[in-house]
Structure 1
Amino acid sequence: MKSIPSPLIRENPTALYLQISSLLREEISSGLYEPSGKLPSEAELQARFNVSRITVRLALDQLVEEKIVERKQGKGTYVFNKQLRYGLDTLRSFHETLVIQGLKPEMRLLSHRVIDIPENLKSTFSAETIQSLFIERLHVVDNQPIAIGKSHLLAEVAAVSLDTIESQPSYKVIETVTGLKVERAELSITAQLADVKHAKALEISPGMPLLIMKRLSYLSNNTCCDHSIFYIRPEHYEFVLSSHFKVS
């Protein structure tokens, strides 16, 4: 991301840190730091404006006080309450919805094993489907965990390498293995409080609210190929849906 060159006016009676905060405020408003919302580091701002580190910190403190930016320990400074979006009117994997926003999300494989189809899912998959590949992945953006995805996929996906499962969206892997397109999905969204395990993985406190997205995906032959549950940190994530009135 390139910053707009904006030299400070040294003779200006306005303090340098206020000039810097004003310039950053304008750049944020113009969308310069989209899509991730991450600002340059303090060292980068110090070099850009040729000022001391304390002047940069005072400028950022001003923006924090105005709730324009927020500091995330060990991660940097971000536009306050930056929202990631999931469009409910388009069939895409969770990972792909982040990629199309210009982000560079990671998927970290937490667990991977072939298991018998759980009793509560036997009616969901076809009668011939006895086992599934269960995978658990942590979705990360800018080194910040945003969601845990737990998926039951067709067992034949287990033939794919671990590197592929960790780096490729489920839909892409399923379509490669089966030779069929993922044609439709059923989604539901609820909420629940984070238990200790999910809170630790998502770097939040136990008892904090999580968005829960459940997804059933079907191939073009109407076979269920994916049952997934996503546990999502809600503070920077929103679901959106475009709808239109039908002309009667």
Structure 2
Amino acid sequence: MINKNSPIPIYHQLEEYIKQLIDSGQLVPGDILPSEREYSDKYGISRMTIRQAIINLVNERYLYRVKGKGTFVMEKKFEQDLQGLTSFTEDMKARGMKASSKLIKFKIIPAHLKLAKSLDIQEHDPVYEIVRIRLAEEIPMALERTYISANLVQGLTEEIVQNSLYKYIEDTLHMKIASGTQIIEAAIANEQEVKYLDISDKSPIMLMERSSKLDDQTIFEVVKSSYRADRYKFMIDLKRF
């Protein structure tokens, strides 16, 4: 594993070895690594060299440290492609994972002026307000607040919104979801996000606001989501014009 005659620095060799263990599944999220002394005794290398390798892996977010407890394997982040409009359920299903929701709020409210403009409806028109915790393999990933015109999308129930809204809209109501616009920004978790996402106070999160349209360009939903920054990342391919 460690070749002291190699021109490759020893700390880098150790980094790559630990990465291989993680990528191959021999080390899984939550596993604790051997101590610096154990690595030193096993491979005959200095603790300073081991410390450098560990620091680099922490900075690359392969590992994380807990004071007084040790160094652990970091949970892998879920990557979402921003070029396609998919629901959370569809996104998790494509990864072979079980998606679920915990319903926090489901009610009809009168649209205030800002919300009415966002949905292109009249002020005081009825709007479904749906607040859900979105989970992947029972792990909280996002706190999602969805607003949908009740005159446009009719017949929603608590049972439907705990599964896939998009599936209901397309398969039951036979509406074609066509496009969406998303805005993403970084923020610090508020009290509600800390509570529902099971994260520490002042943890970083990613705020996403999406406006989605049907194929006739009718806006059918506005979604405001708070994603755990330690669990999720977004990806987009860029082309030079």
TM-score by length of 1: 0.68
Instruction: Show the counterpart of 1:108.
Output: 102
Does residue 1:208 correspond to 2:180, yes or no? no
Instruction: Show the counterpart of 2:229.
Output: 234
Deviation at 1:174?
A: 2.4
Range that drifts further, 229-238 or 61-70: 61-70
1:107-156 CA distance string (max 9 Å, x none): 11111001111221212223368111110110112332111000001315
Matches within 5 A, 1:34-183: 60-62=32-34, 79-127=73-121, 130-156=125-151, 157=153, 159-168=155-164, 170-183=165-178
Runs ≥4 residues deviating over 3 A:
23-28, 63-72, 126-129
Deviation at 1:105?
A: 2.1
Residue type at the aligned position of 1:205: S
Instruction: Show the counterpart of 1:29.
Output: 23
Structure 2 unaligned residues grouped into runs of 5+? 1-16, 37-50, 67-71
Supply the distance in 1 between the matched residues of 2:118 and 2:173 (Cα, whole angstroms). 18
Supply the distance in 1 between the matched residues of 2:28 and 2:135 (Cα, whole angstroms). 14
C-alpha RMSD of the superposition: 3.3
Supply the distance in 2 between the matched residues of 1:117 and 1:110 (Cα, whole angstroms). 19
Does the residue aligned with 1:179 lie in a helix, a strand or coil?
Answer: coil
1:41-88 CA distance string (max 9 Å, x none): 9xxxxxxxxxxxxxxx8xx4429995656799xxxxx85241101111
Does the residue aligned with 2:86 lie in a helix, a strand or coil?
Answer: coil
TM-score by length of 2: 0.69
Deviation at 1:158?
A: 5.4
Does the residue aligned with 2:117 lie in a helix, a strand or coil?
Answer: coil
Does the residue aligned with 1:123 lie in a helix, a strand or coil?
Answer: helix
Measured at CA, do residues 220 and 128 of structure 1 come closer, stay the same or move farther in structure 2, by a change above 3 Å?
Answer: farther
Supply the distance in 1 between the matched residues of 2:121 and 2:207 (Cα, whole angstroms). 27
CA contact (8 A) 2:109 2:129 kept: yes
Deviation at 1:163?
A: 1.8
CA contact (8 A) 1:25 1:63 kept: no
Residue type at the aligned position of 1:131: P
CA contact (8 A) 1:83 1:236 kept: yes
Deviation at 1:29?
A: 2.4
Structure 1 unaligned residues grouped into runs of 5+? 1-22, 42-56, 73-77
CA contact (8 A) 1:212 1:232 kept: yes
Instruction: Report sequence identity in percent.
Output: 21
Does the residue aligned with 2:84 lie in a helix, a strand or coil?
Answer: coil
Does the residue aligned with 1:167 lie in a helix, a strand or coil?
Answer: coil
